[in-house]
Structure 1
């Protein structure tokens, strides 16, 4: 069998399945061994204790799938149309959600596509008596896989100063996935670093989480704080979060290479209808049942209802004063200790902005209005 020809077929099949790019590399990540150890020793992983485990498997992916000697790395673009970056970030009464999470959760979707790719390869090998059934396994954030270093080696892009993978034609608005296989395919060459002297991502981070080129202190990163961390967020950091309540795109927004990014062709990644109204008070009014229903098939569901409320509370506290906001926050007191801490902080911030008129008078007016007929 001509393995070079097979590698070209694999890339073609990958594009037919829906991936925008496919690259192939070996499983050697020994160059990243010390860097990962240094990152962990400095505590930059925060409460993500799982990052401390399975170090050898991260550096030697073949230990995750015995027999594997190659990694097929794939790229799937997700930037939705009408992303509304600037308008959403400037509207402090509305919640900003990272654009990757507006639509369907990508994990299962990508894994199924990777399985399809594996089946294509398997079918091709079955026609050749020299090979037995293909030994392959797909990964999409489902195991200790260093996906960005693997994608970089496979030629899908280079690691930007914000630590994300960048592609000169597609920017960084894409997901990564891997297919580990036991087949000696020819490997691709890594991409050149095209960041140059640009430091836009470093200077734009709202919380200063990018502590040096290519190194992120997760403990300060808004994506980590809103998604991975479920405790009380330091007030200095929570104030810097603004209206960002699930993830953060700032370092990508300012990157010049993202001017070249294409919109996704997959409707699964478009903004879901339940997020058409992202007003803070609307989102805070959802019951737990509404939260679960509205985020069926969404990555947001994994943070749980109380963390969702905590994030919304922080955003409301960073926004403009209104009696409705005070009332909505007070209605959520007593649901959880962490939530209560942030509600009290938000109330304090809003009360500082409060107009001079009496709060008691405001409450009285509101009570009277609630008792009036709808057409009054």
Structure 2
């Protein structure tokens, strides 16, 4: 097809597709004329942005007693991804001029170069949900066997990444994916399609693993390691996603009366799956989102976040980039999992996630292995967040408004 005609065709087709998909992703893989009115394009509902209130340093809990060296190392990683961004270049250039890393020096650097802005939700509340994630270890093989029968897929060749933001700026921040079906652009296959008896991704298997629930949670975590029968341990990381919205199966189990709210942790869901193997597939299909993976080099020290730099155990968070500038320092005031013990720490916003939506919302990266998984699985805390933004600038995400309230 002529490239210009193909581009024009994609724009028209995807525009019609989006009109059908703004509030609910269609359960089919077809788009019909009866669903999409030919004379009207429905714009997606734009989420209300948070506000950012400039604060004093003494308003940050335990700021004066922070152990800042680990946060500083994570901030240096952020600067590798931010060094060419206009608002960040000057301050990141100064990072490499700091010769001593004692707490007083580092605290002085942050206070001299940044202003802390507290994030306030659109409804005026200061608190939001803080969850946890980690890098799991799965058991698998490159060969399908009776034991290893659940496939971990690479990104498919027919997955289209659709960008219409130049025409429709309101689509910025939306993950739009699709595929060609004849002369139409249609939604990509959902989880039920992919897990069906004749999987449309056959031939794209990277590994086969031995546990469907572990595979499901690997997709939620976004990275992990596959332990193979010969002792090889291979790192895998996020490659792409099918474009369907993330739906929490924990919430589904609560709605179904299968679990109480306090039981709907990762561990609780896994235990439910062990007790109800006949219901498991139907439950997993309630989440149409599907993540594809790629192999990562052994030399990589940690999983790569959305910023493109390695994550730091217990000092990196995933955020909603529409509300928090990716790469920025974020002071988090929350509590440790299943407790009221304060966890007040300078974190770095180095990752994103399909379930991480909103202003005061973060996913705390605990690291690799079972111990990290135990912490991540039970973390469902309330918390407050402050963005550190370079002096002379204000947070410029999602058109949120900044004010000087609280500085005096």
TM-score category by the smaller chain? Answer: under 0.3
Write 1 or 2 for the structure with the bigger share of helix.
1
Provide the TM-score with structure 1 as the length reference.
0.27
Answer 1 or 2: higher relative contact order, Cα 8 Å, separation at least 6: 2
Q: Which has the larger radius of gyration?
A: 1
